[in-house]
Amino acid sequence: MTLFTRRATLAAGSALLAAPHAVRAQGAPIRLGTLTPLTGAGGPYGPVMANCVRAVITEVNAAGGVLGRQIQLVSEDDQTNPEAGLRSARKLIDVDRVAAIMGTWASSVTTAVAPLCWESRTFLATVSGADSITALPHNGWLVRTQPNTTLQGRKFGEYAIELGARRAFFMAPQTPFTQSQFTNMKTAMERAGGTAELLVYDASKPSLRTEVDQALRFRPDIIVMGGYTPDTTVLLRDIFRAGYTGRKLAFAYSVNQQMLSALPNDVTEGIHTLAPSPAENSGGFARVKRIVGNDNPDPYTCQVYDHVNLVLMAMAAGRDGTGQAIRDSIRSVSQGGGEKVDNALDGLRAIAAGRKVDYDGASGPCDFTDAGDISDCQFRYEQVRAGRQTLLRIA
Amino acid sequence: MPEALAQALINGVIAGTILAVPALGFTAIFAVLNYPNFAIGALATVGAYAGWVGNTALGLPMVAALALAFSATAVAGLVVQWAAVKPLESAGALMMAIASLAAGLVLENALRFGFGNDLRGYDLPLLRDWRFGEFRVGPQQVQNFALALAAMGMLWAFLRYSRTGRAMRAVADNRDLALLRGVDPARVAAVTVAVGAGLAGMGGMLVGLDTSVDPLVGTRLVLSIFAAAVLGGLGSIPGAVAGAIAIGVAEEVAVLAFNPAYRLVVGFVVILAVLTLRPAGLFGARAS
Amino acid sequence: MVSYIVFLLVVAGIYALLAQSLCLAWGVTGLVNLGLAGFFAIGAYASATLTKWGGVPVPVGLLAAMLAGAVAGFVVCVSTLRLRDDYLAIVTLGFAEAVRVIASNEIWLTGGTDGISGIPAGLPRDWGQGFHLAALGIVTAILGVVWLALRRLVASPWGRALRAVREDQIVAAVAGKHVTRLKAEAFAIAAAIAALAGALYGHYTSYIAPEIFQPLITIYVFLAVTAGGNGRPTGAAFGAYLLIAFLEATRFAAEVLPGVSAVQAAALREASVGVALILLLRLRPRGLFPELNQKAPA
């Protein structure tokens, strides 16, 4: 976009703000924003998320947009820092006047920008994991597609037991969900007669040999890894070197395509991963694979794909390109029965024809509780075999 | 527990030896040019990427990739010196330090611009550790350890026997006297920056071999590098080696002794304690 | 658009307080504080925990933050004051990282990586724009008080003694100045100002977390102070407003840059901070408001 057209659209946008609703529907573009980490610790995740949203919007624009209006995407960087994130969010809300902000990643950034969103009637869709986020007094202005730690921790514990493990050693850096993830996992393990131990390491340490020695002294039959891709890479190398051959379990967002191509196959062989997932035959996951161009789309990318599809359809269902419409209508397109869709193109067509839709996305069925948490989700159980994720089952 | 402690000592010595390589680079620049180069972390990242490109794209063997990491980072270090630091020579050490900090930020983001944030791994098989009874040592650790020792040996020989190396030591010991003896200060400064940055790059590559390469790989090391250099006595070459090994050991033993998440605090406490009790460090004599 | 600008003015005011801190420590006294983010954090946490969990009123929280900052500043600088100044730079850099690690892991005290949300502001947040305007008024007023006080301090005999120490410690000592004591006083006061900025940040935005207090914040403030002129409180404050204008302008510039991806644009924005700092140091080292020629009585 050139500076001139940018100024022109800004001027047009502000002129139209004053105009009545009917005039605006004539075709001024609707703005949406992504706020993902492009620099800092979240850097490995944010760029592909922003690209995925852009791809979906390009497709929808080519098919005529939403409510006859084109969608404009503004992608900002939160620098994995709440202070920078707050400034970016202010700009998205006050200058670009986006209807929704999608893809906030770090829990701290989400917590910092959430009040701003609900005060300014901007919808917020996040992938952050801290349980405290949906407990904020957001009044429906926020949804989160990442399963909370109560659910995830329990699933980890139950799956460890199912794999035949009784002694789990959980290794993670300090994150907002480390403690509760571990507590819930431990409870699930103890219920089945197992036991679990936690070690919080420093994610910036270049070698975790002594930490792995500590883990092995516990004689674990499963090591559970709760970090992100860069530190889990270090951890896996040292687990391999230590000669540990027992089971390994991790989040799918850490054992992703980047890691599988950065590490030799025998280091990653046999790792079990869990990720929130839609039903087996859902087309959303296949679409994300196509967009990102590999077979292992990151769970965060799948979730942000769902954010943008839901937001687009909610605006159509609410017949308005505003945050208010998204907040009021998102549950009418995400749940409650109707025509099953897995992408906004089909969904927008059905909504235009007056039919009710029920979106099942790439990260799960995307049905939300009143607090904004997903009410139910299946998990995809995968195992790394010869450097590739192999689907074991979805349950 | 004694076995655990002994194993942590082994791990610490190996980690410390690798840390010694960039710490030597940092302290050498401090000794001759008299300012702390805060771009050292970003320079280590440059080396990690250069070695990675050499290894995966050009198919170079390890030693050749390491040489490439050294030379590429030496060039980057000279660019930083000429573009950012040297113009401020008359403004004092602090201004030069701040300029190097800014230059580090530019380098980190230049790499991010070119390579993105994705993790990169060297094209090397990973080997299981050798076991000796209760203890274990990794073949790659031993190799990296040997490479680090070789680099230090070469630096020592260079400082001891080459004309330029002797001039560097002379300037570090007594700048005015060295000038009187007809040492060319500009040449010595340039060689020191190239060697110092090159060592940082080699250190970055050695760490990258063990972890993976991303735009923050060197930045994660800086506090340990500073702690090592201060502990050894800023500007002391043998001090940097001893300091790095001590920091390496302290960081590993700290995992056993208390919360492993507090590694960075260990480095900080060591710096504070050394400066309070023995500011010249283990080997230095020029603190005040 | 108006609320965006009001918000930026508040944030710039907080950065201007950080710049006052650095102006006193670095510009006037010659002590490089690379741990500014750490003192910023200590103030934010001291006031947030006391007002949120201890129930004390916000003004008391602000005072407590300044006290905590001064104590931390004294402890950090005391071991290095007799050494070359670059040792202090290294110690403070380590200090900021240590603060972040402790804030992340001592969950009972700081809320851990979750941070502390819902920090009271001392003003009703449901005033809408009124709240932000009131906050702007308060932050700007506090900045004004600190700026005035600092100007007077810098012009006082104490300020002249600090400059004498900066120019030549040995000469200052020979002239009968208590060099270490002067340095410790200046550094502790500077740390208290940084802590005050942190406390205000927490009360205004209602949320703090360890990830806020990254080294990049310190680099930003160095850029601000260098741009404005590091020896004068007026220059430092002005530089902070320039800094925020610059950081936000690069955002819009990045949007109109053709042919770069989102990551590349973000990388260029961060790099531009470093490039700007290098260029300023080189071309205009004394800033827009150069120090007035008050030669220290050495």
**Do residues A264 and A386 make contact, with C-beta atoms less than 8 angstroms apart?**
no
* Subunit contact B11:A243, Cβ cutoff 8 A: no
Query: In A, what residues contact B, Cβ < 8 A?
Result: 38-39, 41, 43-44, 46-47, 173-174, 199-202, 204-207, 209-211, 213-214, 217, 229-230, 233-234, 237, 240-243, 258-259, 261-264, 266-267
Chain B: touching chains (3 or more CB pairs < 8 Å): A, C
Q: Cα separation of A323 and A99, whole Å?
A: 4
Half-sphere exposure of C167 (CA within 13 A, CB side): 16
* Subunit contact A205:B124, Cβ cutoff 8 A: no
- Angle C88-C39-C226 from CA coordinates, rounded to 5°: 65
Please give the average per-residue pLDDT across A175-196, as a whole number.
Answer: 94
- Angle A86-A92-A94 from CA coordinates, rounded to 5°: 95
> How distant, in Å, are the alpha carbons of A271, A273, B93, B212, C209 from that of A247?
7, 11, 53, 23, 35
Among C84, C98, C282, the residue with its CB nearest the CB of B288 is C84
Residues of chain C with Cβ-Cβ distance to A6 below 8 Å are 255-256
Best probe of the B interface among A39, A241, A266, by most B CBs < 10 A, is: A241
**Do residues A204 and B90 make contact, with C-beta atoms less than 8 angstroms apart?**
no
Q: Cα separation of A72 and A32, whole Å?
A: 6
For A201, nearest residue in chain C (alpha carbons): C105
In this prediction, residue B272 carries a pLDDT of 86
- Angle C108-C113-C116 from CA coordinates, rounded to 5°: 65
* Subunit contact C8:A108, Cβ cutoff 8 A: no
Q: Which residue has the higher pLDDT, B278 or C48?
A: C48
Cβ-in-10-Å burial (0-12, 13-18, 19+) of A20 comes to: exposed
Q: Could you give the percent of chain C with pLDDT greater than 70? A: 98
Handedness of CA C71, C76, C78, C82 (dihedral sign): negative
Among B105, B267, B271, the residue with its CB nearest the CB of C273 is B105
Alpha carbon C170 to its chain's center: 29
Mean pLDDT of chain C, nearest integer: 92
- First-to-last alpha carbon distance for chain C, in angstroms, is 52
In this prediction, residue C291 carries a pLDDT of 80
Using the predicted structure, report yes or no on whether residue C156 has a pLDDT greater than 50: yes
In this prediction, residue C191 carries a pLDDT of 98
Among A81, A119, A120, the residue with its CB nearest the CB of C212 is A81
> How distant, in Å, are the alpha carbons of A93, B220, C226 from that of B71?
47, 22, 33
Residue B91: strand, helix, or coil: helix
* Total residues found in chain C within this entry: 298
Q: Does B13 touch chain A (CB under 8 A)?
A: no
* Subunit contact B261:A173, Cβ cutoff 8 A: yes
Q: Cα separation of B64 and B52, whole Å?
A: 11
In this prediction, residue C295 carries a pLDDT of 47
**Do residues A165 and A222 make contact, with C-beta atoms less than 8 angstroms apart?**
yes
In this prediction, residue B1 carries a pLDDT of 67
Mean pLDDT of chain B, nearest integer: 91
Among A4-18, A27-41, A146-160, B94-108, the range scoring the smallest mean pLDDT is A4-18
Q: Does B146 touch chain A (CB under 8 A)?
A: no
In this prediction, residue A233 carries a pLDDT of 94
- Angle A267-A273-A275 from CA coordinates, rounded to 5°: 145
Chain A: touching chains (3 or more CB pairs < 8 Å): B, C
- Indicate the DSSP class of residue C227: H
Using the predicted structure, report yes or no on whether residue B275 has a pLDDT greater than 90: no
In this prediction, residue B24 carries a pLDDT of 94
Chain C: touching chains (3 or more CB pairs < 8 Å): A, B
Using the predicted structure, report yes or no on whether residue C131 has a pLDDT greater than 90: yes
Q: Cα separation of A120 and B135, whole Å?
A: 60
Among A199, A200, A206, the residue with its CB nearest the CB of B207 is A206
The highest-level CATH class for domain A3-148+283-359 is alpha beta
Question: B284: pLDDT confidence band, cut at 50, 70 and 90?
Answer: low
For A207-237, what is each residue's pLDDT tens digit? 999 999 999 999 999 999 999 999 999 999 9
Using the predicted structure, report yes or no on whether residue A21 has a pLDDT greater than 90: no
- b (16+ CB within 10 A) / e for B166-201: ebbbbbbeeeeebeeeebeeeebbbbbbbbbbbbbb
Name residues whose C-beta falls within 8 Å of residue A115's C-beta, 6 or more positions apart in sequence.
A136, C125, C206, C207
Residues of chain B with Cβ-Cβ distance to A39 below 8 Å are 109, 112, 117
For C59-68, what is each residue's pLDDT tens digit? 999 999 999 9
Residues of chain B with Cβ-Cβ distance to A173 below 8 Å are 261
Q: Cα separation of A124 and A116, whole Å?
A: 10
Distance from CA of A341 to the nearest CA of C (A): 30
Q: Does B129 touch chain A (CB under 8 A)?
A: yes
Best probe of the A interface among C8, C36, C114, C217, by most A CBs < 10 A, is: C114
Please give the average per-residue pLDDT across A336-351, as a whole number.
Answer: 94
Name residues whose C-beta falls within 8 Å of residue A187's C-beta, 6 or more positions apart in sequence.
A153, A154, A157
**Do residues A174 and C102 make contact, with C-beta atoms less than 8 angstroms apart?**
no
A-B contacts at Cβ under 8 angstroms: 118
In this prediction, residue C293 carries a pLDDT of 61
In this prediction, residue A26 carries a pLDDT of 54
Mean pLDDT of chain A, nearest integer: 91
Q: Cα separation of A279 and B280, whole Å?
A: 65
**Do residues A86 and C267 make contact, with C-beta atoms less than 8 angstroms apart?**
no
* Subunit contact C211:A76, Cβ cutoff 8 A: no
Using the predicted structure, report yes or no on whether residue C290 has a pLDDT greater than 90: no
Using the predicted structure, report yes or no on whether residue B282 has a pLDDT greater than 80: no
Domain at A149-279+378-394, CATH homologous superfamily: Response regulator (3.40.50.2300)
Residues of chain B with Cβ-Cβ distance to A201 below 8 Å are 260-261
- Alpha-helical regions (H) of chain A: 3-18, 21-24, 46-62, 82-90, 107-119, 149-162, 178-191, 209-217, 229-241, 257-262, 265-268, 283-292, 299-317, 323-334, 344-352
Please give the average per-residue pLDDT across C97-111, as a whole number.
Answer: 94
Q: Could you give the percent of chain B with pLDDT greater than 70? A: 98
Name residues whose C-beta falls within 8 Å of residue C67's C-beta, 6 or more positions apart in sequence.
C46, C192
Q: Does B43 touch chain C (CB under 8 A)?
A: no
In this prediction, residue B125 carries a pLDDT of 85
- Edge-to-edge order in the sheet of strand A123-126: A71-77, A30-36, A100-104, A123-126, A142-144
Name residues whose C-beta falls within 8 Å of residue A239's C-beta, 6 or more positions apart in sequence.
A212, A215, A223, A248
Please give the average per-residue pLDDT across C144-168, as a whole number.
Answer: 94
- Angle A143-A54-A339 from CA coordinates, rounded to 5°: 55
Among A86, A91, A112, the residue with its CB nearest the CB of C251 is A91
* Subunit contact C4:A81, Cβ cutoff 8 A: no
Per-window interface: B 148-207 vs A, CB < 8 A: 207
Residue B136: strand, helix, or coil: strand
Distance from CA of B103 to the nearest CA of C (A): 6
ipTM of predicted complex: 0.91
For A101-144, what is each residue's pLDDT tens digit? 999 999 999 999 999 999 999 999 999 989 999 999 999 999 99
Query: In C, what residues contact A, Cβ < 8 A?
Result: 1-4, 7-8, 11, 101, 104-105, 107, 112-115, 117, 125, 128, 201, 205-212, 214, 216-217, 247-248, 251, 255-256, 261-263, 265-267, 269-270
Residues of chain C with Cβ-Cβ distance to B227 below 8 Å are 94
Distance from CA of A79 to the nearest CA of C (A): 8
Question: A5: pLDDT confidence band, cut at 50, 70 and 90?
Answer: very low
In this prediction, residue B133 carries a pLDDT of 85
In this prediction, residue B283 carries a pLDDT of 75
Residues of chain B with Cβ-Cβ distance to A241 below 8 Å are 126-129, 136, 138, 140
For A209, nearest residue in chain B (alpha carbons): B11
For B169-225, what is each residue's pLDDT tens digit? 888 888 888 888 888 888 999 999 999 999 999 999 999 988 889 999 999 999 999
**Which of A192, A199, A200 lies closest to A160, judged by CA?**
A192
Cα dihedral: A65, A67, A68, A73 (round 10): -40
Residues of chain A with Cβ-Cβ distance to C245 below 8 Å are none
Residues of chain B with Cβ-Cβ distance to A44 below 8 Å are 117-119, 214
Using the predicted structure, report yes or no on whether residue A25 has a pLDDT greater than 60: no
Q: Cα separation of C48 and C244, whole Å?
A: 25
Question: C85: pLDDT confidence band, cut at 50, 70 and 90?
Answer: confident
* Subunit contact B263:A206, Cβ cutoff 8 A: no
> How distant, in Å, are the alpha carbons of B283, B288, C92, C165 from that of C30?
27, 15, 14, 8
Q: Where in chain A is the domain with CATH 3.40.50.2300?
A: 3-148+283-359, 149-279+378-394
Question: A322: pLDDT confidence band, cut at 50, 70 and 90?
Answer: very high
* Subunit contact A87:C267, Cβ cutoff 8 A: no
Pairing label, strands A71-77, A30-36: parallel
* Subunit contact A47:C261, Cβ cutoff 8 A: yes
Q: Cα separation of B178 and B167, whole Å?
A: 7
Residue C29 backbone phi and psi in degrees, to 5: -100, -15
Residues of chain C with Cβ-Cβ distance to A2 below 8 Å are 256
Among C256, C263, C269, the residue with its CB nearest the CB of A6 is C256
**Do residues C192 and C66 make contact, with C-beta atoms less than 8 angstroms apart?**
yes
- Angle A140-A146-A149 from CA coordinates, rounded to 5°: 105
Question: B278: pLDDT confidence band, cut at 50, 70 and 90?
Answer: confident
Q: Cα separation of A269 and A212, whole Å?
A: 18
Residues of chain C with Cβ-Cβ distance to B263 below 8 Å are 101
In one-letter notation, the amino acid at residue A261 is: S
**Which of A222, A219, A224, A200 lies closest to A211, judged by CA?**
A200
Best probe of the A interface among C2, C263, C268, by most A CBs < 10 A, is: C263
